[in-house]
Structure 1
Amino acid sequence: MSVTIRAFSETDTEAVLALWLQAFPEYNDASRPHRNPRLSIANKLGVQPELFFVAVLDGGDGDGALVGTAMAGYDGHRGWLYSVAIAPEARRRGVGTRLVRHAECALAAMGCLKLNLQVLDDKPEVLAFYDRLGYRADAVVSLGKRLAAQESETVD
């Protein structure tokens, strides 16, 4: 399968949303308002949009069917990888590996020395994919806090 990896364009929005709703069933769960794919895209376009990548079937002009996504970020200390999604018909054909490697190279060019990612623990096939790419569990505990759900607090 021949694909081109390029930066996301706003004209990719609907294709990305369709892929994400298919690849990430949790986006369809109304009890998880923090999983809003339109907001994820908008937020990424506001911060390091050059690190939002799409894989498209190669039609010669890079405008073929969208078959994959990857978002990356770098804060000067650690890099992060998010929203790696591959269309079912493109899985096990090297598209995911190419997207991850593309993001790794972009982050390395920025001076990033360590890349982190998180995978839901009920996705063994995704964990196996990252294991094949050399990712290992760090001896850390991942903590999170939903800021939007926080009640107003006063600071003294």
Structure 2
Amino acid sequence: MTTGATLSIRRFDARDTDAVVALWQQAFPEYRDVTRPQRNPHLSIANKLATQPELFFVAVFDERIVGTVMGGYDGHRGWMYSLAVDESLRRHGIGTRLVAHVEQALTERGCPKLNLQILSAKDDLRAFYEALGYRADAVISLGKRLGALADPTSAA
């Protein structure tokens, strides 16, 4: 990062959509896979804006969106999603600041525990989160797609 420019974190604004989609397509290759409609970045943004939009944050550096993070809280547990940092600016503390920002926002809401999920093959991501104090829970994560994104072969 260049000297003189400062990093700020703020709430997502709808005008950020194109920049966020571009960042996510860079950071999450599955968002470029048109055969996976559940990985539609526009749908993810629309869904977040409909549910706790105040927990959708962007990092801005030199007037450019360089990171994102989403939080969610259901009154029992919190979740962190879509942490992304521009690949040209990684290892400069942006991801760490975004994590701290969403942790603080959830703490202010009374959230007692924050969960996140990463793909098991992403050892670099696991190391990043472990360095921030996250540990693997002794749980098995299960999931089921609902509605229009449901897997028709799973119904018996």
**Shorter-chain TM-score above 0.5:** yes
Q: RMSD in angstroms over aligned alpha carbons?
A: 1.1
Percent same amino acid among aligned pairs? 64
Q: Deviations over 1:61-103 (max 9, x none)?
A: xxx1100000000000000000000001211000000000000
Name the residue aligned to 1:154.
none
Instruction: In structure 1, list runs of 5 or more residues that go unmatched.
Output: 59-63, 152-156
Give 1:30 shift: 2.4
Name the residue aligned to 2:115.
116
* Candidates 22, 28, 45, aligned match of 1:24: 28
Q: In the aligned structure 2, how far is the partner of 1:41 from the partner of 1:21? A: 13
Q: In the aligned structure 2, how far is the partner of 1:80 from the partner of 1:119? A: 12
* Candidates 53, 57, 64, aligned match of 1:53: 57
Q: In the aligned structure 2, how far is the partner of 1:141 from the partner of 1:56? A: 35
Q: Deviations over 1:102-135 (max 9, x none)?
A: 0000000000010000001121111111010000
Name the residue aligned to 2:96.
97
* Candidates 30, 33, 38, aligned match of 2:37: 33
Q: In the aligned structure 2, how far is the partner of 1:88 from the partner of 1:33? A: 24
The one-letter amino acid paired with 1:91 is R
The one-letter amino acid paired with 1:15 is A
Give 1:31 shift: 2.7
Tell me if 1:7 matches 2:16: no
Q: In the aligned structure 2, how far is the partner of 1:150 from the partner of 1:117? A: 23
Q: SS state of the match for residue 82, structure 1? A: strand
Instruction: In structure 2, list runs of 5 or more residues that go unmatched.
Output: none
Q: In the aligned structure 2, how far is the partner of 1:67 from the partner of 1:143? A: 31
The runs of at least 4 consecutive aligned structure 1 residues that moved more than 4 Å come to none
Give 1:150 shift: 5.2
Q: SS state of the match for residue 34, structure 1? A: helix
Aligned residues: 146
Q: In the aligned structure 2, how far is the partner of 1:99 from the partner of 1:88? A: 15
Choose between structure 1 and 2: higher helix proportion.
Answer: 2
The one-letter amino acid paired with 2:43 is L
